[in-house]
Amino acid sequence: MRVIDGTIRCTLHPSSDDENDLASLLVDLEHEVLDETLRARIRDQTADVRNLILALAFSNTGLVDPKDA
């Protein structure tokens, strides 16, 4: 993978000469890119509420001496 002029170029090196395999691989890759893009968006969109939930979960654990808080 390389970034060229703001575009990510991904070069595939198939292990098989079967064109059907390559076509299927390309479809799978495109779907995977879409899904990973969606995962990144969900992660970013829910980051604040996730951190809030974790803060709620681990507050009052007694792991920090109140004098040091």
Partner 1 sequence: MTSKFLPAQEFAAGSADWELLPFRFHRLDGRVLVTNMVGEHLFLTDEEFELLATDRLPHDSRLVKRLRAKHVIRQPGEAAPLDLLALKTRTRYRRLPLFTGLHIFVVSLRCEHSCPYCQVSRQSSDKTRYDMSAETASSALALAFQSPSPQLKIEFQGGEPLLNFPLIKEIIGEAERLNQDHQRDVIFVIATNLALLDDEVIDFCRDHDVYFSTSLDGPRDLHNKNRPRPGRNSWELATEGIARVREALGRDRVAALMTTTKASLNRPREIIDAYVEHGFHEIFLRPLSPYGFAVKTKSYSAYDTDLWLNFYREGLKYIVDLNRQGVDLCERYASIMLKKMLTNDDPGYVDLTSPAGIGIGAVVYNYDGDVYASDEGRMLAEMGDHTFRLGNVANDSYADIFLSEALLAPLDESFALSAPMCVDCAIEPYCGADPVYHYATSGDFVGRKPVSGFCRRNMAITELLLTLYETDPDARAIFLDWAAR
In the complex, which residues of this chain contact partner 1 (CB under 8 A)? 35-36, 38-39, 42-43, 45-46, 49-50, 52-54, 56-58, 61, 63
Least Å distance, CB 18 to partner 1, is: 21
Q: Which residue, 4 or 63, is less far from partner 1 as judged by CB?
A: 63
Q: Which residue, 11 or 60, is less far from partner 1 as judged by CB?
A: 60
Residue 8 backbone dihedrals phi, psi, to 5 degrees: -90, 120
SS (H, E, C) the chain: CEEECCEEECCCCCCCCCHHHHHHHHHHHHHHHHHHHHHHHHHHHHHHHHHHHHHHHHCCCCCCCCCCC
Least Å distance, CB 49 to partner 1, is: 6
Least Å distance, CB 26 to partner 1, is: 17
